[in-house]
Chains A and B, each alone.
Chain A
Amino acid sequence: MSNLTYLFIAYAFIWTAIFLYLLNIGKKLSFIQREIKLLKEDGYKSEGN
């Protein structure tokens, strides 16, 4: 492998890892926010009953 291939692999790994981590946080956050919204709606409904 040439020097440039190693350089490419290293940089590709850095950005893929950081991007996947950011994606993971984003997914987790939107899942929790959605669940909170549903929970609040359920809470209001049961209070209404």
Chain B
Amino acid sequence: MDKKYLIPILLSYVAILAALYFAFIYAPTERTMGDVQRIFYFHVPSAWVSFLAFFVVCIASIAFLRTGKESWDILAASSAEIGVLFITIVLITGPMWAKPVWNTFWTWDARLTTSFILWLIYIAYLMLRSYVHDKERGARFAAVFGIIGFLDVPIVYMSIRWWRTLHPAPVMGGKEGSGLAPEMLMTLMICLGAFTILFATLLFLRYKTGMVATEFERLKIKIHS
């Protein structure tokens, strides 16, 4: 493998190993929920990464509509794919945590429902990209969709503040009395950092693949013409 790919992969590997150490060994066991609460250390960073990914989609889509440069479209498509991967992880790990704590896998409360809608929006975004045959038109449609779709992200984030939900209240920036033990907060920060590095690596790899694929298409047309 090319060295330029190997360095970010190794960096992510080390960051994830550190995150696993903190989540399973350093962080204390939560008193009421027990060990299942450790899902939190990867559930929250996955949600953060999906928000970040959809933010990149939004910014890259605006840049694509302004400049028409294909590289922005490739960046938006790459980030959307990674965002869908992480929001899927959120939607799977959430119920795994909910079942032993709430005694149900799923409930249609505001946070869960808006998260599910976010997942549907970006699944539709990826479907739109693959079903429109005119590539340039598809890219423009997707860019508009990517910008509008991002509107759901602040709604998901604010849902536990705006509505009364079964989902836990925010642990950071929440009401008085909310918050985490210092060791738990430290672990969460390490995990957030590790997942951000992982996101950057995946985005870099996916973007490079997209660029190489575009080059390949150009080369094919050039040779056959």
- Residues of A with Cβ closer than 8 Å to B? 1, 3-4, 6-7, 9-11, 13-14, 17-18, 21-22, 25-26, 28-29, 32-33, 35-36, 39-40, 42-43, 46
A6-B36, A21-B202, A39-B223 are contacts. A14–B212 as well, Cβ < 8 Å?
Answer: no
- Contact at A32–B223, with CB atoms within 8 Å? no
**Min C-beta distance of B106 to chain A, whole Å:** 14
- Contact at A10–B220, with CB atoms within 8 Å? no
Asked if B93 is at the interface (CB within 8 A of a chain A CB), the reply is: yes
Asked if B54 is at the interface (CB within 8 A of a chain A CB), the reply is: no
Residue of A nearest to B210 (CB): A28
CA distance A29 to B207 in the complex (A): 11
Residue of A nearest to B213 (CB): A32
A-B interface pairs (CB < 8 A), number: 79
Asked if B198 is at the interface (CB within 8 A of a chain A CB), the reply is: yes
**Min C-beta distance of B225 to chain A, whole Å:** 12
Interface of A, helix, strand, loop or mixed by DSSP: helix
Of the candidates B92, B99, B209, which one forms a contact with A32 in the assembled complex, judged by CB atoms under 8 Å apart?
B209
Residue of A nearest to B82 (CB): A21
Q: Which residues of B contact A25 (CB under 8 A)?
A: 202, 205-206, 209
Residue of B nearest to A20 (CB): B85
- Contact at A3–B89, with CB atoms within 8 Å? no
In the assembled complex, 8 residue pairs joining A and B whose CB atoms fall closer than 8 Å, in A order, are A7-B96, A9-B96, A10-B96, A10-B97, A14-B42, A18-B198, A29-B205, A35-B216
**Min C-beta distance of B148 to chain A, whole Å:** 26
Q: Which residues of B contact A32 (CB under 8 A)?
A: 209, 212-213, 216
Binary per-residue interface labels of chain B (134-158) against chain A in the complex, 1 for a CB within 8 Å, 0 otherwise: 0000000000000000000000000
Of the candidates B36, B92, B213, B219, which one forms a contact with A3 in the assembled complex, judged by CB atoms under 8 Å apart?
B36
CA distance A3 to B30 in the complex (A): 12
Asked if B100 is at the interface (CB within 8 A of a chain A CB), the reply is: yes
Q: Which residues of B contact A10 (CB under 8 A)?
A: 39, 42-43, 92-93, 96-97
- Contact at A22–B202, with CB atoms within 8 Å? yes
